[in-house]
Amino acid sequence: MKNFKTPSEKYRQQGNEIFAKLKQQEDAAFVVRQGRFTDALKYYNQALNASMNDDERASAHKNLGSLYSYQITSTNIESANKNDYNHNLKECITSYGYALQLGRQAKSQEWLISIRHQINNFVSDCYAQFLLLPTEERLRALEFTVNCFERTTLNRLDSVATAYYELGQLMFQNALKHFKKEPKLIYNCLPTLNRAFYWACEPHTFRSNEMKELQDSIWLHQCIHESSNARHTGVRMLDYHLQNDEELNMDFIWTIIDKFREAILLAKELDIEGKF
């Protein structure tokens, strides 16, 4: 007896057949491969539209995620159209997000573990591509990627935590580069690292030594900036008072003293005297 297949299953089967041909034709002309991708995408979208329950919807979204993932990771990022690349990246992450969200109630634990593994591999492959980009472009690519994940219901993915860690490192390096002219850039780094802890499967052990070293470096430079800023503010306030007021205003003087005290305390807290 022939097994009955729903319309969604039939569309997915057709999409799978075309997707398999796409993966077998790695050396084919771009036009041929793009045609295969477009055809597979059409059938997977039809499968999604024809879905009758969360089980079918989860499967269709997983197929879409897999197709977009393959399209992205088989693209030469250095010569790729950035708008097309980012569109596919966003659609891939969105599709995986819906697949896992719908699959939590409709799929087996084995299926859920499998798709999480698939997502982690995809993010790792993307980062390997990002390493080919200049620093500024790599920073923007990582920002775009993690922002796409933040728009999903996904969580606890070590690959995304790693992406946040790498992004935090790049942001810190960029902040150091512009520290004298734009010291406030340093304050964007710690919130980014905090998101790494949010996404990590084991936050307390995730890259513990590396994270602590980076956090300490960021905190040190924040203290350098705040101490220097407090000292300069105190000097400006004192100069203004001496030049514009005939008599000493002790309330104002104590405010100035507080600024110098703040600078000293910040400097001593991490032993940064003489570094600004």
Domains of the chain: 1-133 (1.25.40), 155-276 (no CATH)
Indicate if the pLDDT at residue 272 is higher than 50: no
Question: What pLDDT score does 275 carry?
Answer: 46
The pLDDT tens digits for 67-95 are 999 999 999 999 999 999 999 999 999 99
More confident residue, 123 or 244: 123
pLDDT exceeds cutoff 90 at 237: no
Q: What is the pLDDT of residue 234?
A: 60
CA 12 – CA 6 distance, rounded (Å): 10
pLDDT at 146 over 80: yes
Is 36 in contact with 22 (CB distance < 8 Å)?
yes
Q: Which residue has the higher pLDDT, 139 or 255?
A: 139
Higher-pLDDT residue of 257 and 28 is 28
Task: Encode pLDDT of 168-215 as tens digits.
Answer: 999 999 999 998 889 889 999 999 999 999 999 999 999 999 999 999
Q: Are 62 and 96 in contact (CB under 8 A)?
A: yes
pLDDT, mean of residues 239-251: 66
Share of the chain above pLDDT 90, in %: 74
Q: Determine the Cα–Cα distance for residues 181 and 68; give it in Å rounded to an integer.
A: 41
State the average pLDDT over residues 213-232: 77
Q: pTM here? A: 0.84
Distance, C-alpha 268 to centroid of its chain? 35
Average pLDDT, the chain: 89
* Count of beta carbons in the 10 Å neighbourhood of residue 136: 10
Q: How confident is the model at residue 274 (pLDDT cuts 50, 70, 90)?
A: very low
Residue 207, sorted as left (phi over 0), alpha (psi -120 to 50) or beta, turns out to be left
Other C-beta atoms within 10 Å of 39: how many? 17
